[in-house]
Chains A and B, each alone.
Chain A
Amino acid sequence: MNQLAFFDPPLWTVNELTVYLRDLLESDNNLQDIWVKGEVSNISRPTSGHLYFTIKDNQSALRCVMWRNAVSRLTVMPRDGDAVEVHGSINIYEAAGQYQLYADLIRPTGEGALYQEFTRLKALLEAEGLFAPERKRPIPRFPNVIGIVTSPTGAALQDILNTIRRRYTLARIVLAPTPVQGDEAPAGIVTALETQNQIVIPDVIILARGGGSMEDLWAFNEERVARAIAASEAPVICGVGHETDITIADFVSDLRAPTPTAAAELATPNRADLMENISDLSQTMARVLTAEVNSQRLELNYLENQIANRSPQTRVRSDRQRIDEFIHRSGTALRHKLVLQRTNLTSLDHNLGSLNPFAILKRGYAVVSFPDNRIVRSVTQVHSSDELDVRVQDGRFGVQVRDDIQESE
Chain B
Amino acid sequence: MTNAIQDKPKDDIPVDQLSYEQAFTELQTIVGELESEGLSLDEALALFERGQELIRYCINLLDQTELKVQQILGEEIVDFETQVE
Contact with B along A29-49 (1 / 0, CB 8 A): 000000000000000000000
**Across-interface contacts of A199 in B (CB, < 8 A):** 72, 75, 77
Verify A162–B31 contact, CB threshold 8 A: no
Q: Which of A104-112, A235-243, A281-289 contacts B (4 or more CB under 8 A)?
A: A281-289
**A-B pair number, CB within 8 angstroms:** 98
Cα A379 to Cα B52 in complex, Å, equals 98
How many of B's residues come within 8 Å of A, CB to CB? 37
A172-B55 in contact given A277-B24, A285-B30 (Cβ < 8 Å): no
Cα A288 to Cα B47 in complex, Å, equals 12
Closest to B48 in A: A289
Interface residues on chain A, size class: 35 or more
Verify A175–B64 contact, CB threshold 8 A: no
Cα A298 to Cα B1 in complex, Å, equals 25
**Across-interface contacts of B20 in A (CB, < 8 A):** 142, 170
Verify B62–A158 contact, CB threshold 8 A: no
A278-B55 in contact given A141-B21, A292-B41 (Cβ < 8 Å): yes
A144 interface contact, C-beta 8 A = yes
Closest to A169 in B: B67
Verify B35–A284 contact, CB threshold 8 A: yes
Cα A406 to Cα B72 in complex, Å, equals 140
A170-B41 in contact given A161-B69, A281-B55, A289-B48 (Cβ < 8 Å): no
B15 interface contact, C-beta 8 A = no
**Across-interface contacts of B34 in A (CB, < 8 A):** 284-285, 288-289, 292
Cα A165 to Cα B34 in complex, Å, equals 35
Verify B35–A288 contact, CB threshold 8 A: yes
**Across-interface contacts of B82 in A (CB, < 8 A):** 158, 161
A contact residues vs B (CB 8 Å cutoff)? 141-142, 144, 152, 158, 161-162, 164-165, 169-177, 192, 195-196, 199-200, 271, 274-275, 277-278, 281-282, 284-285, 288-289, 292-293, 296
